[in-house]
Every structure is written in structure tokens, then in C-alpha cells.
Structure 1
Amino acid sequence: MNKNIKNIFKLLSSCLIVLTAAPALAANKLEGVRIWAAPESTRVVFDLSAAPEYSSFSLNQPERLVVDLKSTSTKLDLAKLANNSKLVKRVRISKPETKGTLRLVIELQKSVKANLFALAPTAPYGNRLVVDLEDNSVQAKTIAAPNSSLRDIIVAVDAGHGGDDPGSIGPSGMYEKKVVLPIAKRVADKINATPGMKAVMTRSGDYFVNLNKRSELARKSKADLLVSIHADAFTSPQPQGASVWVLSMRRANTEIGRWLEQKEKHSELLGGAGEIIQNTDNEQYLAMTLLDMSMDRSMAISHSVASDVLKDLDRVTELHKPRPESASLAVLKAPDIPSILVETGFISNPKEERLLTSAGHQEKLANAIYTGVVRYFEANAPVDTLLAKKAVIKHKVKKGESLSVIASRYNVSVSSLKQANNLSTDTVRIGQQLLIPGA
């Protein structure tokens, strides 16, 4: 009898082991799939209940990327997946070679370069497997040279975050990526409406652009300045106000070192000078000297532009920092492109979150950023630009003069006169200096 009881216990124990082991075959669950399409790339995100164990391989004729998720199951209907990508036809489930593995096939429109990586949970998302796809056929785009010998001043406008990266999140659940894009678009529109200036946006929709690629896009566009627009956040709701950041010297020195190690990029960074020094005995030392000079110039310009932008932001919002701050921020790292990062306010502050979602406040912030940038370049335009050849006229307001009278005298509109001088009303005072736009 005792022997029979022992056998029964052994049998029950075996069943228990099987039952407890069974879920391990599908310990992870695929809970969602999202496709974020950019003009020349696409990000596919797999939302998972736990950290993924994955592998991948490519197939061609037709082009496919196969992703295997170990010990994973799903109940998703991928036929209903929203997809506006020019690179991805569809995502489907296929039969795996190993039991318990979830095989996902990304059917592609063309050959791509794929990069896969896992991300740990960060609000509002949980565990994710990210697949970045980049069009292999895309050639470097540059701004076409104007017909005349004079060129436009190019400003790269960067809306922070985007796509699967929401940025900071406000008390009501508003994402940073959603408030900075319309501000960036307004800044770009104002720059494009200014004779002698042109804006290039690093992203124009809700998709993610790699931080390194943002400065690369600015360089390919031959930008004179990169302006990155963000919204700040803190762990408590009290902090408020806008600030402007430039690159720290510590990060600058690190970036110079990285560029020096990449000899093939000397020509890209230093232009004609890079080609002259290439393959010479002293290339490393000459490149270091030129890079130091380039970085010193870029950082000086960045600080000046940042100071100008802060003056105008102070007229439309609270300032968190009255002077430019420096930090080791990746988007500012280009040693050859003056770059600033504008924190338009604290989205973690309930009052400022409401303001940042207001179209009226977005317009004020955009106008302040634009005015500060234009004022700098009107006073410091590169000699080969159209803006450098325009005479800057200032008018001193006299008794009996109104804004409309002054606008009529110089054949400009009242609205452009107000915008050039950051005026919120038509009121002017005697002795006030006004900048005449387009003169």
C-alpha cells in the first residue's frame, strides 16, 4: 500500500512539473505591433509582456526580414495592422522551425538595412523589440546651389523625439513630441517666409529620427545653424520656464576626438581643407587644429544665438534659466554646425502643459525663436549670403509717427514690421528704434 502511495505521489509530481513547465513555452506575449513611417526609413515596434529573446535573418526574391521570438505567443490579427510605410508591405506570422517560437515575417517593398534592438519599459510603453529599416537606395540629399553666387542662410529645425519616443509626458498625458512639432513647423514657416533664409526640418511628422542622424541631416543640408526644440520635465510639478542650451566643452572635446579617429570623414567635415590635408604626414595634427578652430567658432555662434533667443523668449514666457546653459546633449554634438536646444517650458508643470498645447502660445514661442535667430544673422550674416548684402535700416520713432505711417514710408506691411521687432501691439513710443524688414 505504501509503495502504491509513493507511485501516486511520483505521478502527481511529474504532472505538476509538466504543468508548471508548460507556460515557459510561451512565457512572453506579443501584445502589439506598431509601424512608424518616416520619408526614408521605417520603425517597426513589437510590444511584449517581457524582455524578448530574439534572432533574425533576411531573405530576398522577394525581400523579407524574418524575426524569431523565443517562447512567445500572440492572439493579434496582423492583417488589420495600420501601415503607411513605403518600405513595409505587411507583417505576418509564419511557421517556425522550433516549437514555442513566434516567427514574424516583415515583407518589404525593397532592399533595406535593418537594425534590431530591445528596449526596457519606459512610460507609456512596456518591453519592446525595435526594428529600424533604412532604404538602401537613398542617396545623400543636398541643398541645390542658387543660380547666383549668393546663397540663402540655411537653418535646420529639429522637433525633438517622435514616433515610438514620446519624450516627456505631462500631468494630463500630453506627449512632448506632440507639442514640439507644431512649434518647429511654425519656426520653419517663418524662416522660409524670410527672403535670404531657408529652413530644413529633420522630421515633419510623427516618426523617430536617430539622434546622430539629426546633425547629419543638418550637415547634408549645409546648415548654418541647428535649432532643436523640446519641452522640459521634472519629477515634481513646480519647475517652470524656458531655457536654451549649448554644447558643453567636455562633450565638444570628445566629439573632436571621435572625428579625428575617422580619417575618411575629414573631407566631409572640413570641406576643401580636408581634401588638401588628406594623406599628408601631418594629417592628424592639421585636422586637430582645423577642428579646434571650427568647434571654437561653432560654439561662439551657438552662445550668441542662444543669448538672442533668450531675450525674445523672456518677452513671451517665464525663463527657467536667464543665460545659455551647457550640457552634453547628443543633438548638439556636431563640431562644425552651430547648434542650440530650446526647452520651450516644463510639460511636467500643469500650467505650462496647458500653455504648450495652446496654438496661441505655440505661435508666441515660435516667433520668439525665429526673431532671435533672424536678429543674429542680420547682424552676423556670412559674407557669401543674400542676407549679408541687404542694408539693415533702423528707424527712430518721431513725434506724431504711428506704426502704419512708418510701414507706409518704407513700403512694408504693419504685420512684418511688428514681427521684425517682436511687437505684440501697434503702439510705439518716441525714440524707439525699429528694424525695417527686407530693407
Structure 2
Amino acid sequence: MKYVARRQMLKGLGLAGLTLALPGGVLAATSQELASEGLARLQEGKTAQALTALKEAAKLDPANAWVFNLLGRTYHLSGQPRLAVENFRLALRIDPADGYSRMMLDVLAQHPLPPAPAEKPIKSKRLSPLEEQARDELSAFAKTGKAASKRLLLIDPGHGGADKGVTGTTGLAEKDLTLEVASLLASELNAASGFRAMLTRQADYAVPLWARKAQADLFGAELMISLHCGASLPGYAGVEIYSHSGTASDPEANAVAELENGVLRFERVQPPVLTEPASQRGLLGAWRARSGERRGKELADALVIQLSPPAPLAPGHARQAPLGVLDGPRCPCMLIELGFLSNAQEEKALKGKDFQAALASSLAQGLTRILG
């Protein structure tokens, strides 16, 4: 018989855990092949078929963190948060570096888990130490789920790693300043009732633009705020607030977009190619994008009015530009230029720790006012 690729022969058969008989013997689906088939079905929105393949993969290889990661995603999409948490926990126990499972556990922690269904004890089955630890963690997790009333704001400290961003004449790097102010802003917002803030990065390392945007959807953020510092012609000063638009509102906004989008040259990791469900495409997807842009502009316009930054910074303008970091998330987004490092007076002020704290406090107050 003609040679047929192994993966193609197992497509479909692997979903039922079957084997394929060949003249040379029996060819069985491996855990990795079943996991790949499960991922394919998951991307097509066929969660029942994905679960069939992934459960079989877990039986074949109970130490494969990727399989349990995919099981967690599938259970989450099929509306079974308790089982999703259980599998994400198992994935993390096998591979503590599984960042996706850690992120999804944080997402699911924003809502208390539903009560576990009553089950008859199976005396003949003895849990492994790993299963016992996961069961105990799941029980504690269900009791301490974070309140759903907390409104999540995602704060993105611009640049990082090899990408320093703008550097002032005294050596102040944009990537360091944005991280400092973002950390202070997160503390201010977390201290305010009803809000919870998270950062897209917490140290000096590179995060691709697509990963920053993806976190907004993964965490279910209400608003994403990307912090930056400008560099422009002499005379420009103050805080500038941008929302996303396919067309820049003015030449200065277009120049800012070209500068900020230039970080793409530092990115070595490309975004995963995912098949979106039909509900995310077409008219509904376009409507969501327009709605997010409209809301982002409304919030940017409102923040300019409410913001009272410390001197010598002054409220600037609300502008629109085709900024890559703001293009894509379902939630409204804004980019805030925390002054201009090309302005000697502003750079000197921005280096001060007390000034950074005052700036973060003014931003937190402005954001809490416009969000109500």
C-alpha cells in the first residue's frame, strides 16, 4: 500500500483511541499525536471530540503537562470551570514553568468555583500522591476564589529587555521608568476599593506586543493601559493620551505610532496561529473592534479632563493613532505618554522617586474617576 503520513492515518481514529492495523504490525496513536488532534478539534470549537482525544492522551502519558494544559482549556471553553482548574493545577505540578496554566488559574480565580457534584466513593481506586495534592489544592482554591466584583485593569509597562525605548540625555531609559510608574500605579489601584491591577511584565524582560494584548483577553480586563514616554521636537511637553484608530488624528500622533510600533524589530517569538470560532469573525468581530475603539476614545478624552499630573507635567491632548499594542484586545485600551524624555525639564522630574509616586497617584485618581 502507498505510504500515508502517520498523522493523517490517525486522524479521526485517534479520537476514539483506536489502533490502525498495517501489514507490518499495529500502529497505535501516541499521546503526542492524540494531543495534537485534540488541539485541532479545540481550535475548531469541537470540544467534545477534543476531550475524547485528550483524555486518551492523558491515559497514555500522565506526566505530559501539555496534555493537561489542553484539557484545562477545553473544559474552560465547555463551561466546566472546576475541571478546568483541576487540569491546569495538574499541568503546573508537572511543569511549574507553564505560564499559560498559571494565567488561566488567575482568570478562573476571579470567580468562586461551583460546588462539586456528589460522587460515590470508589473504594478500589487509590489516588496517587500527585492526585491527592491536586485534590487538596482544588478544595482550597474553591473556598478562596476571588470576588467577581473586582474590576481588573491591565497595566502594560512599555518596552523592556533589549528594547530600551527612548533614552534621555542623562541616561534615563523609558523601559525602566514605565516599569517603576506601572508598579506604583498598580499599588494605588489595588488599594482602591473595587479595582484590581495586574502588570504585563514585572521585571526588565521583553514581552512581544501580541503577548501583551493577549493578556487583556486572557485575564478578562476591563481596560488596558500601556505606559510610555515620548521623544519629540523641542517644545513638546506634558502627558499625552492615545486611543486606537486606523488613521492618526494628526502628524504628531502618526510619528508616535511609527516610533512605538518600531519595537516589532526586537520580537523573535511569533504569535500562535489559532482558528477563531465563527462567532469571533465577520460582522460580530468587526462590531466588537469598533465598539472597543469607540469606548477607548471616550475614556482617553475623559482622562485628559480629569488628570492633574504634578508640575512640570501638564495635561496634554487626547489623540488617536494606529498603535500596534492597542490593536486587537476586546477591552478598551489607551496608551499614556508620561511626558517627554527629550524635554530636559521633564526628564529631570521623572527621575525622582517622589515625583514618580505623585504621577502614579494622579493617574490612579484620574482612572478611578472616569471608570466610576
TM-score normalised by the shorter chain: which range applies? 0.5 to 0.7
Correspondence for 1:139: 100
Correspondence for 1:257: none
CA shift in 2, pair 1:191/1:247, >3 Å: same
Residue 213 of structure 1 aligns to a residue whose secondary structure is helix
Residues 298, 336 of structure 1: 8 Å contact kept? yes
1:241 to 215, 222, 238: 238
Counterpart amino acid of residue 277 in structure 2 = H
Q: Does structure 1 residue 230 correspond to structure 2 residue 228?
A: yes
Distance apart, 1:319 and its partner CA? 6.5
* Alpha-carbon distance between aligned partners in 1 of 2:237 and 2:194, rounded to the nearest angstrom: 35
Distance apart, 1:249 and its partner CA? 3.2
Distance apart, 1:376 and its partner CA? 2.0
Unaligned segments of structure 2, at least 5 residues: 1-64, 67-95, 113-145, 249-272
2:336 to 327, 342, 345: 342
Cα deviations by residue, 1:215-260 (Å, 9 ceiling, x for unpaired): 11121111111000111012x4432211000111349xxxxxxxxx
Unaligned segments of structure 1, at least 5 residues: 1-109, 112-134, 252-261, 268-272, 275-286, 379-439
Q: Does structure 1 residue 309 correspond to structure 2 residue 303?
A: yes
1:265 to 254, 266, 276: 276
Distance apart, 1:317 and its partner CA? 4.4
Correspondence for 2:357: 363
Distance apart, 1:318 and its partner CA? 5.9
Correspondence for 1:29: none
Distance apart, 1:186 and its partner CA? 0.9
Correspondence for 2:209: 211
* Alpha-carbon distance between aligned partners in 1 of 2:308 and 2:110, rounded to the nearest angstrom: 37
Distance apart, 1:338 and its partner CA? 0.6
* Alpha-carbon distance between aligned partners in 1 of 2:237 and 2:316, rounded to the nearest angstrom: 12
* Alpha-carbon distance between aligned partners in 2 of 1:345 and 1:223, rounded to the nearest angstrom: 25
Greater shift, 329-338 or 152-161, is seen at 329-338
Q: Does structure 1 residue 295 correspond to structure 2 residue 306?
A: no
Distance apart, 1:265 and its partner CA? 2.2
Distance apart, 1:292 and its partner CA? 2.4
Residues 230, 342 of structure 1: 8 Å contact kept? yes
Residues 308, 315 of structure 2: 8 Å contact kept? no
Residues 245, 320 of structure 2: 8 Å contact kept? yes
CA shift in 2, pair 1:325/1:318, >3 Å: farther
Correspondence for 1:179: 177
* TM-score normalised by L of structure 2: 0.53
CA shift in 2, pair 1:364/1:289, >3 Å: same
* Alpha-carbon distance between aligned partners in 1 of 2:206 and 2:166, rounded to the nearest angstrom: 15
Percent identical across equivalent pairs?
27
Q: Which protein is richer in helix relative to its size?
A: 2
Residue 360 of structure 1 aligns to a residue whose secondary structure is helix
Correspondence for 1:188: 186
Counterpart amino acid of residue 331 in structure 1 = V
Counterpart amino acid of residue 276 in structure 2 = K
Residues 183, 365 of structure 1: 8 Å contact kept? yes
Correspondence for 1:157: 155
Aligned length: 218
Q: Which protein is richer in strand relative to its size?
A: 1
Residues 166, 176 of structure 1: 8 Å contact kept? yes
Residues 157, 202 of structure 1: 8 Å contact kept? yes
Residues 200, 221 of structure 1: 8 Å contact kept? no
Correspondence for 2:88: none
* Alpha-carbon distance between aligned partners in 1 of 2:163 and 2:98, rounded to the nearest angstrom: 26
Residue 265 of structure 1 aligns to a residue whose secondary structure is coil
Residue 334 of structure 2 aligns to a residue whose secondary structure is strand
